[in-house]
Structure 1
Amino acid sequence: MTNNSVLKKVAQMDEQLFLTLFNYNSPKWLKTAALGFSKSGDGALYLLLCAAVWWLSSNEQHQLLPATVLLGFVIERPIYFLAKNRFARIRPCDCLVTNAYIVPSDKFSLPSGHSAAAFLVATILSHFFPELGLLFFAWAAGVALSRVVLGVHFPADIIIGAAIGSSCGLCALMLVVPV
């Protein structure tokens, strides 16, 4: 099997999984939950959370959280923008289905910026608050999946976004947090 045929097969599987998850007949509660998760990944929550931890925590280690998240985004954003423009993958709502439940902020889908950001923040928060790690990653997965349910990303977009975000979060932790 050639590389081209493997990529074609993966793309077909990705499209089929998208069509399974994005469904015009989805229950109202699923669309509402997806909109809520997606909104929570828009960015304002990250700023609020970092400011709150910095302001309210007396733990010296927790004071490193805002700088770690900031550095994580300084690393992640250029990677995200370069990948987005390099891959230039058309969004499913522009090539596979007639419309999405939300209007995307740009025309390309790979990688998912919401997924990258959510997993970056979940990775860093899980380091500082390990007892809540499962909750942070469940939230990040909800943000990522919401982007498919809402019709603006293929499943591969969110998987690659999650990998980018998690990697950048780990990188930031290694650079900021003393061992």
Structure 2
Amino acid sequence: MYEIIQEDKSLFLYLNNLGSQTFDQFWIMISSTWIWVPLYIIFLYLLFKNYKVRNLVFILIFIALGVTVSDQLAGIFKTGIARFRPCHDESLTGLMRAVKCGGQFGFYSSHASNTFFIANFMSLLLYKKYKWLPYFLFLWAMIVSYSRIYLGVHFPFDILMGAAMGFFLGGLFGSLSLKVIYKQNNSAPTAGL
């Protein structure tokens, strides 16, 4: 385990030190939530365009539940494992670019988990209509996730674990959404009700 952690730190230092002050504001913006609000509105529009309003309500409930689970699990892991963020790791002082810093612990990345959740969830619900969408979504999730390494708030392994959890949860909640939608669309009203 010690060797894996050292490799993770080495990879982090390599990726983090690729940055320069010129691009810091760009990556801070990429890492922000508010910048992606227009994209979320586009997602909502695509769902509205392809699903009935009743189904859309279920989809939004599953998105809210899934993102909450994704976020809360990351918080449980962070306090349970208690791995310092790079910017709080004294062994990296003077070796890394700390553009931003967050809470004390960073394993695993909520940003990676949430973006990969959305990428997989939306891909499952819309890929039949928009074959290009999964490529765009997963590229977006990777860019947002990389921003966390660039800024100095997560190690690569934090990102990989977050991405894996988000991907899994997105698949789970996306599949549940599709099952509920299928059931809703194929349930005939019972006579006499």
User: Would you say same fold, with TM above 0.5?
Assistant: yes
Instruction: Provide, for residues 83-112 of structure 1, a one-character-per-residue CA deviation record: whole Å limited to 9, x for no partner.
Output: 1111111111111135621232x2111000
Contact 1:90/1:107, CA 8 A, preserved across alignment:
yes
Report what 1:3 is aligned to: none
Which residue, out of 111, 114, 120, partners 2:108? 111
Report what 2:187 is aligned to: none
CA distance in 2, matches of 1:12, 1:121: 31
Q: Kindly provide the amino acid, as one letter, of the partner of residue 107 in structure 2.
A: L
Q: Structure 1 length normalisation: TM-score?
A: 0.81
Q: Which has the larger radius of gyration?
A: 2
CA distance in 1, matches of 2:125, 2:115: 16
Which range moves more in the overlay, 167-176 or 73-82?
73-82
CA distance in 1, matches of 2:137, 2:19: 29
Which runs of 5 or more residues in structure 1 are unaligned?
1-6
Q: How does 1:1-179 map to 2 (within 5 A)?
A: 7-23=1-17, 26=20, 28-29=22-23, 31-40=24-33, 44=37, 48=41, 51-53=44-46, 56-57=48-49, 59-60=51-52, 63=56, 64-95=58-89, 96-98=92-94, 100-104=98-102, 106-130=103-127, 131=131, 132-178=133-179
- The verdict on how the C-alpha distance between 1:80 and 1:65 changes in structure 2, with shifts beyond 3 A counting, is same
Q: Kindly provide the amino acid, as one letter, of the partner of residue 10 in structure 2.
A: Q
Q: Kindly provide the amino acid, as one letter, of the partner of residue 159 in structure 1.
A: L
Give the percent of matched residue pairs that are identical in Structure 1 and Structure 2. Answer: 27
Which range moves more in the overlay, 111-120 or 78-87?
78-87
Which runs of 5 or more residues in structure 2 are unaligned?
183-193
Q: Kindly provide the amino acid, as one letter, of the partner of residue 60 in structure 1.
A: K
Query: How far 1:67 moved relative to its partner?
Result: 2.3
CA distance in 1, matches of 2:93, 2:34: 24
Contact 2:124/2:175, CA 8 A, preserved across alignment:
no
- The verdict on how the C-alpha distance between 1:16 and 1:169 changes in structure 2, with shifts beyond 3 A counting, is same
Q: Kindly provide the amino acid, as one letter, of the partner of residue 100 in structure 1.
A: A
